[in-house]
Chain A
Amino acid sequence: MMLPLFIIIPLIAAFLITLIAGKKDVWGIVLSVVASAAMLILAVISFLNVNGETIIYEMGNWKMPFGIALVLDSLSGYMLIIVNLVALTAIIYSIQYIRHLGQDFKYYALFMLMLTGMNGVILTGDIFNLYVFMEIALFAAFALVAYGCRAEEYEAAFKYAVMGSVSSIFILIGIGVLYSATSTLTMARIAQTVPNLSPQIILWVGGLFLAGFGLKAAAMPFHAWLPDAHSSAPAPISSMLSGVLIKVLGIYTITRIFFNVLDAPAVFLTIFIVIGTISILISGFLAIIQWDFKRLLAYSSISQIGYILLGIGLATPLGILGAVFHLFNHAIFKSLLFYDAGSVELALGTRDLQKLGKLGKLLPVTSGTSIIASLAISGIPPFNGFFSKLIIIIAAIAAGQPVLALLAILGSILTLAAVMKIQCYGLRQDVDVEPREKIGLGMNIAMISLAIICIVGGLLVAPGIREVALDPVVNVILEKAEYVQTVLGR
């Protein structure tokens, strides 16, 4: 069975790294590259194998209500591919980048631990187990944010830890209430009993979950930890956080719990739309005023999360398709943008946009890929972001919400303005900048590979590919009750 490998491989890698690494980082690099490459391959294989079905693995062969099951359906397979794809590029990128912060195996161990947590969250079919994996990922993330060991990084990690814990408490209370009402922690069984529960319980539990997971997803007004944490972390970690962590711990859990478990009550869909739109607009405005390269990107992450929430909240096939596709796209181009920010910081020693310039000459790969990513994130064709935003906008109009579509467009113009601010300052010719370090092959490979995905990623919605890649994922979310039947009714 393949499922537990996604948890075992990174966990073992993490322990092995600490055991055998010694003082050097070579073993850390080798083990984590091998582990994440293996998992990416496994993820692609299992996504193709699943093919719209559901695979279940009962841990320790304990039958379902007593033991913990791992559930792999198209949605989890899709998330696994995204997570491990970004993780692999992040590790490759880290090789040079992290040496600049000191040759240390701990980074790779923590990275693998974070990956364990995320893969676990995606695969588990047990809500408390989900909480545990989430905390594993979070604690690894807290440490990784503080990895640079400077004052601002500690401050950011501290804020992140406090706010993350506050939200985890909400989630824990929610799980407690749900457990007392249903006497089970298996998500499918909870879903089975949900129709018999009093609606008030669902609403309150939903409210607590929304606040808890909303913070992990950094939707407004629970976003305030993100700009600090994502801008202070080392660049590959920023891209893991912005690219996949907020989506796994936030968006994935929200869709899984609200759609497959709580049966998507209409009021929550409205709340998704409202907080989604608020996030798009306000953080769009906040992004354009930033001068710190990574902080700007961090705010724009909040705004892109808003698009995903908006698409999910519409709950039409088209809306969910847009959201699911945007989730993938955002993981790609936002990670790429953070890599670009990191290589600018490494080469020029600053993230301050006002001190940048001549990037086109000094760092051609970084500059070229950042232009591609900027155009992709702001929805310029033919890049991947265009198609997902297009689908979300069409979905909003088709759902009879032209005002939302207009606001989403305003948000996309703000995004464009924000990322173009980077280009505007980065490409100036008339400033004196001296590169301190050359960007090596590993970093360039990471950036170029993601840029290529930005260019060809739009093909995922092409008829023929869409039916294989995206439609099964949409169906999992849309056919809410299927989950219960496929998980329990074997």
Chain B
Amino acid sequence: MNSPFILLFVAVPAIVALVNLFLPVLLRKLLNLLSSLFLLYSMIDVFFISKSAELLRGDFGAITIWGQEIFSVDQMSLFTLFFIQILAVIILIYSLKGVQADAQKSFYALFPLTIAACNGVILSDHAISFVVFWGLSGMTLFLFALLGRTKESPATAVKTILIMGGTDALLVMGLALMWVLQGQASWALSALNTPVTDGLSWLAFFLVLSAAFAKAGGFPLHTWLPDFSRDAQVESAALLPASLDKLLGIYLLARIVTTWFTISFILNLILMTLGAITVITAVMMAMNQHNGRRLLGYHAVSQVGYMILGIGSGNPVAFAGGLFHMINNTIYKSNLFLTLGSVEKQTGTNELDDLGGLARNMPITFIMALVGALSISGIPPFNGFFSKWMIYQGVLETAKTAAPGYQLWILVCLILAIFGSALTLASFMKFLHAIYLGKRPEKLKDIKETSANQWIATGALAVLCLIFGLAAVAVPLKIFIYPAMANAGLELPAFSGLYQPILLLALFLIIFALGMIIYVITKNVRPDEIYLGGMAPLEKFRIVGTAFYNEIRNMRGLKGVYDAADKQAFDAYAVGEKSSLALSRLFQKAHPGLLQLYVLFIVIGVVVFLIVL
């Protein structure tokens, strides 16, 4: 079936982006909405109405340009494509009202360009078009960062494009190496299959991996993400680092470990280790953030760790869990960013220290944020629980078959990941408390609920969180993930029938009720007014959520680490910047502007030439 159907996913948003450059804002919005809805409907049609996805199981149709097959689609790309359209529509609905006025015009031109680039990445089957769209999506990230209006926005944009552009170049080199290793035969991505054995193939593996890590936000290339989350507009933070970049990065990672490379167990081990490090370091950093967006940014990194852990483990259950977690993360993380965005738009701040008690003012937003927070912390019956559970289960199975020494290693990774999950919950307690609970600062008492388009968008995401938790097997796994795995040649996990969300929910409710009963029985507390030094407390003595984990921040042993992290000692970008500047100063010393020295350069050069020759 060779139809131009899949070309629409790149062409339509690209044309909209181009046309939007010349339209007034209102038309830009309308055009965006129409095109996004059209593409979403097309995907719904593929999966649910005409069910053409069922027919494929192989080639869906390919687009050939200049004699080269540029685009093609398989199950994995198809479902990733679907989720790009879902998130695009939801985030677009959120953005219909409330985008910063002076950035609106650029926003509605960049938005479709981003969608076109991301769709292009997913559909590309030609290495060159893959890197072009990959780089293009990095460029839109940069342009979105430039739309930010904080003091640090330009610096953040630069950091982002440096990491993106640098890894894009590495990706080019990795693909070129694979092309050479395979005898310079074909640039088709579906034809790639490099066994990682000798030095060059290892190099190629890590070069390509670096691009996936940078895009998704894996350690140690994640450092653009928290900065971007803080400084860009909240819509773009929800769109790119929270959702589309995750889809892209993890999609690439899944391709790498399934088809592009045949990897050995050692590489699985390295990937799992990197995943565990990502989980734990990012969540530790997240706990101590005072800025809401930065906190979410660090969690966006931390969650990537689970996906890397699952997909890198080489076990089919964990692999499915990793992909599932990728979808889930895009849903709840964009939900969290968007709810925070609503709060920010109403109150004018995203500093947790300045917020509090908003649950009364913004109850709908609070409920949506609560769902998101419970999902990310892995509380059943929400979606985050099941994907994490699959990852743990799969990693355990990997450990079972490994040699004893490795077994211990994998278990340590697993424990770190589970511990990270607990810390995530702890961190979101703080997040929710700091914004929605606790005592409300005086100046926030007149805050209103956000506009309908915003809570409709976050509500849709919250509903998805619930559906994907309750019907985890029936909907996301059976419709999207298992076909993709079968397509990639992986065996399907056999056990998933064990998951009984209703039973689980019932158990959870029983335990909750038990807790309440114990609380009521043993309740022996006398509520009273708060006094401080015999006086009613002043506003400034309000207990803010950010203070929850100061103990950990100042714990012996950890304090030094946190201090160093504050000085960016672990930021690969900052370290690289410092060391290259040192090298630059060295070279600069050789250029004092003296003519005689420069002529000496020439003479030395000539003499060296004549000697060599």
* Chain A residues within 8 Å of B, Cβ to Cβ: 158-159, 162-163, 166-167, 170, 203-204, 206-208, 210-211, 214-215, 221-222, 224-225, 227-228, 267, 271, 282, 285-286, 288-289, 360, 371, 375, 378-382, 386, 389-390, 393-394, 397-398, 402, 405-406, 409, 412-414, 416-417, 420-421, 423-430, 462-464
Nearest-CB distance from B296 to chain A (Å)? Answer: 24
Write out the residue numbers on chain A whose beta carbons fall within 8 Å of the beta carbon of B176. Answer: 393-394, 397-398, 405
Write out the residue numbers on chain B whose beta carbons fall within 8 Å of the beta carbon of A382. Answer: 132, 135-136
Within the assembled complex, what's the spacing in Å between the Cα atoms of A297 and B58? 50
Nearest-CB distance from B226 to chain A (Å)? Answer: 18
Establish whether residues B169 and A427, one from each chain, have CB atoms under 8 Å apart when the complex forms. no
Establish whether residues B173 and A406, one from each chain, have CB atoms under 8 Å apart when the complex forms. yes
6 pairs from A and B in contact (CB 8 Å cutoff): A222-B601, A271-B609, A381-B132, A381-B133, A381-B134, A409-B173
Establish whether residues B612 and A221, one from each chain, have CB atoms under 8 Å apart when the complex forms. no
Establish whether residues B155 and A424, one from each chain, have CB atoms under 8 Å apart when the complex forms. yes
Within the assembled complex, what's the spacing in Å between the Cα atoms of A286 and B168? 23
Establish whether residues B613 and A203, one from each chain, have CB atoms under 8 Å apart when the complex forms. yes
Write out the residue numbers on chain A whose beta carbons fall within 8 Å of the beta carbon of B66. Answer: 462-464
Interface check B560, CB cutoff 8 A: no
- Pick the residue among A163, A397, A428 that contacts B173 (CB under 8 A): A397
Write out the residue numbers on chain A whose beta carbons fall within 8 Å of the beta carbon of B434. Answer: none
In the complex, identify which listed stretch (B146-154, B239-247, B502-510) lies at the interface while the others stay far away.
Answer: B146-154
Within the assembled complex, what's the spacing in Å between the Cα atoms of A413 and B167? 9
- Pick the residue among A159, A427, A463 that contacts B67 (CB under 8 A): A463
Write out the residue numbers on chain B whose beta carbons fall within 8 Å of the beta carbon of A166. Answer: 599, 602
Closest to A210 in B: B609
Nearest-CB distance from A263 to chain B (Å)? Answer: 15
Establish whether residues B587 and A286, one from each chain, have CB atoms under 8 Å apart when the complex forms. yes
Write out the residue numbers on chain B whose beta carbons fall within 8 Å of the beta carbon of A425. Answer: 154
Q: A379-B165, A381-B131 are in contact. Are A224 and B591 (CB under 8 A)?
A: yes
Write out the residue numbers on chain B whose beta carbons fall within 8 Å of the beta carbon of A429. Answer: 149, 151, 153-154
- Pick the residue among A286, A360, A426, A462 that contacts B584 (CB under 8 A): A286
Q: A221-B604, A224-B598, A289-B584 are in contact. Are A405 and B165 (CB under 8 A)?
A: no
Establish whether residues B151 and A211, one from each chain, have CB atoms under 8 Å apart when the complex forms. no
Write out the residue numbers on chain A whose beta carbons fall within 8 Å of the beta carbon of B67. Answer: 463
Within the assembled complex, what's the spacing in Å between the Cα atoms of A413 and B67? 33
Nearest-CB distance from A324 to chain B (Å)? Answer: 19
Closest to B131 in A: A381
In the complex, identify which listed stretch (B156-164, B266-274, B351-359) lies at the interface while the others stay far away.
Answer: B156-164
Which of B139, B149, B161, B610 has the most CB atoms of chain A within a 10 A radius of its CB? Answer: B161
Nearest-CB distance from B123 to chain A (Å)? Answer: 16
Interface check B180, CB cutoff 8 A: yes
Interface check B444, CB cutoff 8 A: no
Interface check B432, CB cutoff 8 A: no
Establish whether residues A420 and B583, one from each chain, have CB atoms under 8 Å apart when the complex forms. no
Establish whether residues B146 and A386, one from each chain, have CB atoms under 8 Å apart when the complex forms. no
Closest to A202 in B: B613
* Supplied contacts A286-B588, A381-B135, A416-B162, 13 more A-B pairs, CB within 8 Å: A158-B595, A222-B601, A224-B597, A282-B587, A288-B580, A375-B161, A381-B133, A382-B132, A409-B166, A412-B165, A413-B162, A420-B158, A423-B154
Closest to B200 in A: A402
- Pick the residue among B151, B180, B593 that contacts A430 (CB under 8 A): B151
Interface check B550, CB cutoff 8 A: no
Q: A159-B595, A211-B602, A381-B131 are in contact. Are A285 and B587 (CB under 8 A)?
A: yes
Interface check B177, CB cutoff 8 A: yes
Establish whether residues A224 and B609, one from each chain, have CB atoms under 8 Å apart when the complex forms. no
Write out the residue numbers on chain A whose beta carbons fall within 8 Å of the beta carbon of B146. Answer: 360, 371, 423, 427
Within the assembled complex, what's the spacing in Å between the Cα atoms of A420 and B581? 15
Interface check B585, CB cutoff 8 A: yes
Closest to B67 in A: A463
Q: A378-B165, A393-B172 are in contact. Are A402 and B580 (CB under 8 A)?
A: no
Nearest-CB distance from B242 to chain A (Å)? Answer: 23
Q: A211-B609, A267-B612, A380-B135 are in contact. Are A405 and B173 (CB under 8 A)?
A: yes
Closest to B146 in A: A427
Establish whether residues A285 and B599, one from each chain, have CB atoms under 8 Å apart when the complex forms. no
Establish whether residues B158 and A423, one from each chain, have CB atoms under 8 Å apart when the complex forms. yes
Nearest-CB distance from B146 to chain A (Å)? Answer: 7
Establish whether residues A424 and B170, one from each chain, have CB atoms under 8 Å apart when the complex forms. no
Nearest-CB distance from A292 to chain B (Å)? Answer: 12
Closest to A389 in B: B169
Nearest-CB distance from B597 to chain A (Å)? Answer: 8
Chain B residues bordering chain A, tally (CB within 8 A): 60
Q: A397-B180, A409-B173, A464-B66 are in contact. Are A170 and B606 (CB under 8 A)?
A: yes
Establish whether residues B157 and A423, one from each chain, have CB atoms under 8 Å apart when the complex forms. yes
Establish whether residues B169 and A409, one from each chain, have CB atoms under 8 Å apart when the complex forms. yes
Write out the residue numbers on chain A whose beta carbons fall within 8 Å of the beta carbon of B613. Answer: 203-204, 206-207, 267
Interface check B184, CB cutoff 8 A: yes
Write out the residue numbers on chain B whose beta carbons fall within 8 Å of the beta carbon of A389. Answer: 169
The 8 A CB mask of B176-204 against A (1 = contact, 0 = none) is 11011000100000000000000010010
Q: A393-B173, A413-B165 are in contact. Are A289 and B581 (CB under 8 A)?
A: yes
Write out the residue numbers on chain A whose beta carbons fall within 8 Å of the beta carbon of B135. Answer: 380-382, 386
Interface check B515, CB cutoff 8 A: no
Establish whether residues B158 and A421, one from each chain, have CB atoms under 8 Å apart when the complex forms. yes
Write out the residue numbers on chain B whose beta carbons fall within 8 Å of the beta carbon of A426. Answer: 154
Establish whether residues B138 and A424, one from each chain, have CB atoms under 8 Å apart when the complex forms. no
Closest to B133 in A: A381
Closest to A411 in B: B169
Establish whether residues A289 and B149, one from each chain, have CB atoms under 8 Å apart when the complex forms. no
Nearest-CB distance from A451 to chain B (Å)? Answer: 14
Establish whether residues B585 and A289, one from each chain, have CB atoms under 8 Å apart when the complex forms. yes
Closest to A422 in B: B158
Within the assembled complex, what's the spacing in Å between the Cα atoms of A163 and B66? 49
Write out the residue numbers on chain A whose beta carbons fall within 8 Å of the beta carbon of B203. Answer: 402
Nearest-CB distance from B221 to chain A (Å)? Answer: 13
Q: A289-B585, A390-B131, A427-B146 are in contact. Are A420 and B162 (CB under 8 A)?
A: yes
Interface check B605, CB cutoff 8 A: yes
Nearest-CB distance from A119 to chain B (Å)? Answer: 27
Closest to A383 in B: B139
- Pick the residue among A203, A402, A416 that contacts B165 (CB under 8 A): A416
Within the assembled complex, what's the spacing in Å between the Cα atoms of A425 and B158? 10
Nearest-CB distance from A333 to chain B (Å)? Answer: 15
Write out the residue numbers on chain A whose beta carbons fall within 8 Å of the beta carbon of B602. Answer: 163, 166-167, 211, 215, 221-222
Establish whether residues A393 and B169, one from each chain, have CB atoms under 8 Å apart when the complex forms. yes
Establish whether residues B173 and A427, one from each chain, have CB atoms under 8 Å apart when the complex forms. no
Establish whether residues B591 and A413, one from each chain, have CB atoms under 8 Å apart when the complex forms. no
Of residues 559 through 613 on chain B, the ones whose CB sits less than 8 Å from some CB of chain A are 577, 580-581, 583-585, 587-588, 591, 593, 595, 597-599, 601-602, 604-606, 609-610, 612-613
Interface check B128, CB cutoff 8 A: yes
Establish whether residues B161 and A163, one from each chain, have CB atoms under 8 Å apart when the complex forms. no
Which of B133, B584, B610, B612 has the most CB atoms of chain A within a 10 A radius of its CB? Answer: B584
Closest to A228 in B: B593
Write out the residue numbers on chain B whose beta carbons fall within 8 Å of the beta carbon of A267. Answer: 612-613
Nearest-CB distance from A287 to chain B (Å)? Answer: 8
Nearest-CB distance from B605 to chain A (Å)? Answer: 5
Nearest-CB distance from B87 to chain A (Å)? Answer: 23
Write out the residue numbers on chain A whose beta carbons fall within 8 Å of the beta carbon of B138. Answer: 380
Q: A163-B602, A211-B602, A409-B169 are in contact. Are A381 and B136 (CB under 8 A)?
A: yes
Nearest-CB distance from B421 to chain A (Å)? Answer: 36
Write out the residue numbers on chain B whose beta carbons fall within 8 Å of the beta carbon of A414. Answer: 580
Within the assembled complex, what's the spacing in Å between the Cα atoms of A288 and B134? 26
Write out the residue numbers on chain B whose beta carbons fall within 8 Å of the beta carbon of A462. Answer: 66
Write out the residue numbers on chain B whose beta carbons fall within 8 Å of the beta carbon of A208. Answer: 606
Nearest-CB distance from A169 to chain B (Å)? Answer: 10
Establish whether residues A225 and B581, one from each chain, have CB atoms under 8 Å apart when the complex forms. no
Write out the residue numbers on chain B whose beta carbons fall within 8 Å of the beta carbon of A282. Answer: 587
Nearest-CB distance from A426 to chain B (Å)? Answer: 8
Within the assembled complex, what's the spacing in Å between the Cα atoms of A222 and B177? 33
Write out the residue numbers on chain A whose beta carbons fall within 8 Å of the beta carbon of B158. Answer: 420-421, 423-424
Nearest-CB distance from B310 to chain A (Å)? Answer: 30
